[in-house]
Amino acid sequence: MPKLASLSSLLVVAASLASACSRSEPNPSSDRAKNSAPVSATIKIGQTMPYSGPASAYGTIGKLQTAFFKQLNRTGGIKGKKVELVTLDDAYSPPKAVEQVRKLVEQDTVLAIFQPLGTPSNAAIHKYLNAKKIPQLFAATGASQWNDPEHFPWTMGFNINYVDEGRVYGRYIADNQPSAKIAILFQNDDYGKDYSKGLKEGLGEKAKLIVAEASYEVSDPTVDSQIATLKGSGADTFVNVTTPKFAAQAIRRAYDIGWKPTEYLNNVSASVGSVLTPAGLEKAVGLVTIAYYKDPTDKQWADDAGMKEWREFMTKEYPEGNLDDGVNVYAYIAAQTLVQVLKQCGDDVTSENIMRQAANLKDFAPAQLLPGIKINTGPKDYVLFDQLQLARFDGKSWVPFGPVLGVR
């Protein structure tokens, strides 16, 4: 009777395994009292990064920050405590991000997830981390839904969000060019849509000044035809909401076909080295943007103390990193912000206190931020950058102008 034999063997195995596990340690997944218990000499922080996959260029953030905390630990850590950054590859895939974050939280028992990258991955781990009460700290995405302390008190974004940035341009145009005819070019995804939403909010009643909108897909080879359409609309103001490759194309194309609008370029593409130089510096004169950190390719910061410190770090600790890539400045600022939060925690380094201190940053200004830009947060205000300044390109570098503008 093979059936009976297999059934009985199944039962025997199941019974022995069941008895084995009843003797075993308590389930490792059972809730750890991590929010109350103080931790030892090492502060464990987790992170997911797209080291592989379509967004692997951003992996440099995790690599730089790993080097950053190595250096920090070598020089004494934070009040004697070492910071261990466990950074894992999520391949820019939301399911993988969920898996890796669960590993970090449940197996590695990290106190916080620092700078997980990308809107989709952050959306996938949003509810989980809030249910587990583990900080989703300084999420590396510009989407607007991260700053919702009322419903998601454990999530805080880092970037200036797209809606806020769009709103600043909108308000500025409404105040200074009340009879503008506006054309918008945007990427056909949440980033572009958030942005144009902010722009329209900022324009308010003047939203009817928008005479033309064109979108492109990330997979499009060029935006030449979109630029031609926008020029044909007779617009005299151009809001360029594009990622670096398309920004360079748009700037060059508009100039080449003789369209000379007042042009606003979003911060994502404000790099002199990777956007304006390929577009042609002479074609970029007069562009207006918002920047909150110093562009490493901008000559005006060549002797700046903050940028010197950054460059020294790059050459010594992260020599494989690209000195022209603004993302490396961004990652450096975010790492310092985490250090500031951990310093503020004092001896009480718990998930709960990390979140409390992250919402208690006062006038924190890493030296790589533009002069006057400071990080301020509060329990009801999870937006790191509340004030921005516009800058105009003079053919060599971005020159700040006008008053400091509030984003709200």
Partner 1 sequence: MPSALPVRSMVGPPPRMPVALLIAAACALPFLLGDYRVFQLTLVIVHAIALLGLNLLTGYAGQISLGHGAFYAVGAYTTAILMEHFGVPYWLTIPMAGAVCLAAGVLFGLCASRLENLYLALATFGLGVSLPQILKYKHIEHWTGGVQGITLAKPTAPSGIPLSPDQWLYFLVLLVMIVLFAGAHNLLRGHAGRIMVAIRDCPIAARAMGIDAARYKSLTFGVSAMYTGIAGALGSMAVQFVGPDSFSFFLSLSFLVGIVVGGISTISGAIYGALFIQFVPNVAGDISKAAPSAIYGAFLIAVVYAMPHGVAGAVETVVRRLRAVGAEPRRATDHRDSHPRRNCA
Amino acid present at 130 = N
Question: Do you know the residue count of the chain?
Answer: 408
Q: How far is the CB of 127 from partner 1 (least distance, A)?
A: 5
Nearest-angstrom CA–CA distance, 53 and 100: 15
- Mark the segment that binds partner 1 (CB under 8 A) among 115-123, 199-207, 228-236, 331-339: 115-123
Q: Which is nearer to partner 1, 45 or 143 (CB)?
A: 143
Closest CA to 310 of 290, 339, 336, 289: 336
CA distances from 86 to 109, 121, 191, 320 (A): 10, 17, 29, 20
Burial 31-46 (b: 16+ CB within 10 A, else e): eeebeeeeeeeebbbb
223 binds partner 1 (CB under 8 A): no
Nearest-angstrom CA–CA distance, 325 and 296: 7
- Provide the mask over 78-97, with x wherever binding to partner 1 is found by CB under 8 A and - wherever it is not: ---------xxx-xxxxxx-
4 binds partner 1 (CB under 8 A): no
CA distances from 262 to 133, 169, 181, 236, 401 (A): 47, 12, 10, 6, 15
379, two tokens: 């329990």
Binding partner 1 by CB under 8 A: which of 28, 38, 76, 286? 28
Binding partner 1 by CB under 8 A: which of 35, 39, 63, 211? 63
213 binds partner 1 (CB under 8 A): no
53 binds partner 1 (CB under 8 A): yes
Size of the site for partner 1 (CB under 8 A): 59
40 binds partner 1 (CB under 8 A): no
Instruction: Specify burial of residue 124 (Cβ count, 10 A radius: 0-12, 13-18, 19+).
Output: buried
Helix (H), strand (E) at residue 342: helix 326-345
Q: Which is nearer to partner 1, 195 or 393 (CB)?
A: 195
Q: How far is the CB of 190 from partner 1 (least distance, A)?
A: 4
59 binds partner 1 (CB under 8 A): yes
In the window 134-163, what residues touch partner 1 (CB under 8 A)? 143, 145
- Mark the segment that binds partner 1 (CB under 8 A) among 22-30, 301-309, 323-331, 345-353: 22-30
| Footprint of partner 1 (CB under 8 A) | 2-3, 5-7, 9-10, 13-14, 17-18, 20-21, 24, 27-29, 51-54, 56, 59, 62-63, 66, 87-89, 91-96, 98-100, 102-103, 105-107, 118-121, 123-124, 126-128, 143, 145, 188-190, 217, 320
